[in-house]
Amino acid sequence: MRLPEPYYSRVLRFCKELASGRWHQIDGKLRVDGPVYDKLTHLIANVRFCCLGVACELALREGVGHRVDAKYWDTADAVALDPAGNTSDLTGAVMAFYGFDDANPELTILCSQVSDSQPGNWCEDCRGVPDDERNVECTNTINVSATDANDDLGLAFTQIADGFARRWLGGVEALHATPTS
Ligand SMILES: [Zn+2]
């Protein structure tokens, strides 16, 4: 599937941001504020997002959605990105902005990106095959929700960006095209 404009350009921009390395990933929440340090105690991030949180934040910069401090009802410093206090899915306004059909949109990933420890998520060809006989380079595609990809499967933002591009942009080519200007 390839979304029509203006959704295509919005999702492409979102995918490019996800793959840019500028965003720090977290599981289970759209956005969590607070310092994060590496093993040498260097500060590496003050704000972290799940993939849908990045989508919300970019939409917010275009004037879509609201930021609401959720500290009153969530001790994990999660920041809700809508007035209802939702901290994990897209709001209706943000869904509509991108042209997605679900608050937790689907993306298309490669079977090989699902680890050996999660055989229930493998493609039909791989399911039921013993671990050591599975084709670890299986290129079959499977559809998973964005939060499953981010939280349960533990995919990196670059892999999630490809997953959104396969599902919503008709393939990963646009995402990996060399800029002409
Ligand atoms: Zn497979």
Q: Is residue 97 part of a domain?
A: yes
pTM, whole model, 2 decimals? 0.89
- 2 domain-assigned: no
4-59, pLDDT tens digit by residue?
Answer: 999 999 999 999 999 999 999 988 888 887 888 888 889 988 888 999 999 988 99
The pLDDT score that the predictor gives to residue 181 is: 59
144 Cα: distance to centroid of ligand 1 (angstroms): 14
CA of 15 to the centre of ligand 1 (A): 24
Does residue 81 surpass a pLDDT of 80?
no
- Distance, C-alpha 158 to centroid of its chain: 9
Q: What is the number of structural domains in the chain?
A: 1
In a domain? residue 17: yes
In angstroms and rounded to an integer, the radius of gyration of the C-alpha atoms of the chain is 17
Question: How does pLDDT run across 130-172, given as a tens digit for each residue?
Answer: 878 888 899 999 999 999 999 999 999 999 999 999 999 999 9
Of 16-25, 82-91, 105-114, the poorest mean pLDDT is in: 82-91
Q: Is 181 inside any structural domain? A: no
Who wins on pLDDT, 41 or 86? 41
46 part of a folded domain: yes
CA 167 to ligand 1 center in whole angstroms = 18
Q: Which residues contact 58 (CB under 8 A, 6 or more apart)?
A: 13, 14, 17
67 located within any domain: yes
Residue 51 within a domain = yes
What pLDDT band is residue 86 in, cutting at 50, 70 and 90? low
C-alpha span between 31 and 44 (Å, rounded) = 16
Expressed in angstroms and rounded, the spacing between residue 172 Cα and the centre of ligand 1 is 19
Alpha carbons 155 and 142: distance in angstroms, whole number: 14
Report yes or no on 171 lying in a domain. Answer: yes
Q: Average the pLDDT over 98-122 and give the result.
A: 93
Ligand 1 center–CA 89 separation, angstroms: 28
Range of the domain at 114: 7-176
Q: Which two tokens stand for residue 25?
A: 């990933």
Residue 78: the pLDDT is: 56
CA of 151 to the centre of ligand 1 (A): 20
Classify each residue of 50-68 as buried b or exposed e, where b means 16 or more C-beta atoms within 10 Å of its C-beta.
Answer: bbbbbbbbbbbeeebbeeb
